[in-house]
A and B are shown apart, each in its own frame.
Chain A
Amino acid sequence: MTTELSSDVTTEESAPVEGAAAEPQLTDQGWTHRDMLDLDTCSRSDIEAVLTLADRMREILDRRIPRVPALRGYTVVNLFYEPSTRTRVSFELAGKVLGADVISVSASTSSVVKGESLIDTVRTLRAMRADAVVMRHSMAGAPYLAAQHTDASIINAGDGAHAHPTQALLDLYTMRRAVGDLTGKKVVMVGDIAHSRVARSDLWGLAAMGAKVVVCGPPTLLPLGMRAGDRPGHAESALPPVSIETEIDAAIEGADVVMALRLQSERQEGGLLPSMHEYATHYQVTAERLARANPDHLLMHPGPKNEGIEIAGDVAGGSHSIIEDQVTNGVAVRMALLYLLSGRVDPADTDGEVRS
């Protein structure tokens, strides 16, 4: 039977959790992903499924006692090879709100040197009956390697400069909550696009949702081959469509959403930028520059922010900023994703009815 997710009632008639885990109720027209490695494999309807379910999750999260047993008996391991506070905590909370068992492991790539390979580690976790492994790694592609060697769900929580799909999902969710349908909306990302896994995943997600995307940054921080003309005709679909702009005022003109990306000081040390000050002079998102955007524009930042570098403090805390919403929504979106990956949801129910 179908009930609302509930924090206070667990009826015996509820779908047996163990049975549901053993036999995922997946249908071919619905959610079929076992892993969440990046949004490049997600259709618009896949993304809609997460965002719609995230609305229900957000409602649970806003309850006085945000706790439901939807993922009782489901084990989530956060395997973090790279330090992270916000993403790890966000996943921990997402799992716990849904009643899953969540374990966080700080792994080190030095274990590789000691002979414990990534493959060994994920196989070991699976042997201990982990259902999902949330993985953060400093090297691009690490979650892909893991996914090849286990049937646990692998969730990419950031792999090197490659992808960060749950951040992109929460960005999409936050944008959609604030402006509705994203079709035709102008979204501008400013900053270190070349090294940003957030930007890469956002580009796929925004393309799927029909937004027009402009990326803006100094030439040394823009990725190569992004312009369709930079790659052979047969590979046109191999990267999401995007406009590239090195001049921030031109980029922001008429924007519906402006997202500033974190600038890491390593970029200066690596000789990619003359100085943080020079970067701020040419690329800081300021109130003056935002005056060129759509008057109802939204301001976003995936965090952690360097106020005074990529974003001015007054606009970060200003009325257009939805940066804190992004953080709260991150938990809701990750709840939705864990739930979908658990196979405990009938895709037909993603309009809000969830079996517990």
Chain B
Amino acid sequence: MSTLAIHNGRVIDPALGQDGIADVVIVDGRIARVGPNEGDMVIEADRIDATGLVVAPGFVDLHTHLREPGAEHQETIASGTAAAARGGFTTVCAMPGTEPPLDSRAAVESVLREAEASAAVRVLPVGCITSNRAGELLAPAGELAGAGVVALTDDGQAVADPNLMRHALQYSTRFGLPVAQHPEDPALVRGGQMHEGWVATRLGLRGRPASGEATMVARDIALAELTGAHLHVCAVSTAGSVALIRAARERGAHITASVTPHHLTLTHERVAFSESYDQIHYDSSAKVFPPLREESDLEALSDALRDGVIDAIATNHAPVSDMEKEIEFDLAAPGISGLETAFGLAMRLVTDGQLSLNTLIERLTIGPVRAWSLDRQSGLEGLGTLAPGAVGDVALVDPASEWTVEPESFASLGHNTPLAGERLQGRVVATVVDGQVVHETAAVAAL
């Protein structure tokens, strides 16, 4: 019998409405007890002193690119899940845009096998909507569901054909899988390198209009309402999309949504300017799709996150190699390596007073679990909570601790972040999966 006792932390479990000083005891990988002084009763245990720290259920990421198989120079299942552990994420949903893509049982099983062998945290695979993500033929959703996928998406490639999308949604209802769309209309954003607006004008870069997202969100919502299916909108980035999702949810449509920490906190100005408007640069580390938007979008996104119109913060962790970023901006690969900075970056909403710490933790834990019914789909009872009997997944965070982002010391192979050298407040100090410590900072380890 292995026991881990986490002493005297501020336990925040939004699912149970809990917020207070308590001990968390994990026995044989499951939450055994949560309560004041519970840890003192345990005799033989590994112990973590969480005094001054927040103890939360492990974070759950609905949007992680692990890149394996096919692009192991960008990330592997081992490195990506190590990055997840550093970020407090104990469960990651692995995107299917691998090579080969996750459009067959064999491909999904190979990811699960590799995860079994090398992953630091739980990996729940997501399958393709269409075969080879080509947007032409439906992928075998039943076969994929049987292999263990928890959702369907064509990843960065939105399903352009409305008729095919309609059928994908319709078909998915048989297997209870959410259909997740990265909603940018390919025709409206073709060739676009950043948000369309005055910064793109200044840089002479082709833009991706905000309406390129809103038109597809509107279409997909209409199709979800037509079919009664569950549509998940990934990486919402515009105020227009937020308004559409809000209205659809009010009508009772089964629409869920997630937003990235970078879309909540950074604007398109990040691509071009650092201190003044006199001098421009072309910062490909801020090149990401959907692109970083405008201040008014950020406000709409944080309002929606607070109101629950957006269910979850998801990283869209998209690691790429330095070589793929240090080239012409048009050629640079889009993406931000986001797992390790997600909590600290999202904490800006808390320090700015836009979001409570409890809501932030909700949107990182039970929010995503409920959005995709991950507990039911994965069979992991109590996922996203610290309820007795739940999987023993915990994130220990210090919301006050400041740190500097140093991409070269990331666990992720992708050092691509626009935050290099920046100070963040809020740090993940330890991560526990199934009662095993998978990440701890030196400060915690020394206790």
Contacts and interface: CB of A to CB of B under 8 A. Distances in A.
A112 B323 CA distance: 11
Interface in B185-225: 196-207
A239 B201 CA distance: 9
A109 B204 CA distance: 19
Contacts of B197: 224-225, 230-231
Contact of B204 (A197, A231, A237): A197
Contacts of A237: 277
A241 interface: no
Contacts of A197: 204
B279 interface: yes
A145 interface: yes
A140 B206 CA distance: 9
B329 A117 contact: no
Contacts of A137: 328
A142 B326 CA distance: 11
A224 B329 CA distance: 20
Interface in A221-243: 223-226, 230-232, 235, 237-239
A159 B282 CA distance: 12
B198 A140 contact: no
A115 B139 CA distance: 35
A300 B196 CA distance: 30
Contact of B295 (A118, A140, A232): A232
B280 interface: yes
A67 interface: no
A142 B198 contact: no
Interface in B153-199: 196-199
Contacts of B273: 238
B251 interface: no
Contacts of B278: 40-41
A137 B330 CA distance: 11
B201 A145 contact: no
A40 B277 CA distance: 9
B201 A223 contact: yes
A20 interface: no
Interface in B298-351: 323, 326-331
A142 B279 CA distance: 15
Contacts of B206: 161
A140 B191 CA distance: 13
B203 A162 contact: yes
A109 B200 CA distance: 22
B197 to A, nearest CB: 5
Contacts of A118: 327-328
Interface in B342-380: none
Contacts of B295: 232
27 contacts: A40-B279, A40-B280, A109-B328, A117-B323, A118-B328, A137-B328, A139-B328, A139-B329, A139-B331, A140-B203, A140-B205, A141-B282, A141-B328, A141-B329, A144-B280, A160-B204, A161-B204, A162-B205, A223-B201, A224-B196, A224-B197, A225-B200, A230-B198, A235-B269, A237-B277, A238-B199, A239-B201
Instruction: Return the 7 tightest CB-CB contacts between A and B, nearest first.
Output: A225-B198, A162-B204, A141-B282, A140-B204, A238-B277, A161-B204, A231-B198
Given A41-B279, A160-B204, A224-B200, 5 more contacts: A41-B278, A117-B327, A139-B330, A224-B198, A230-B197
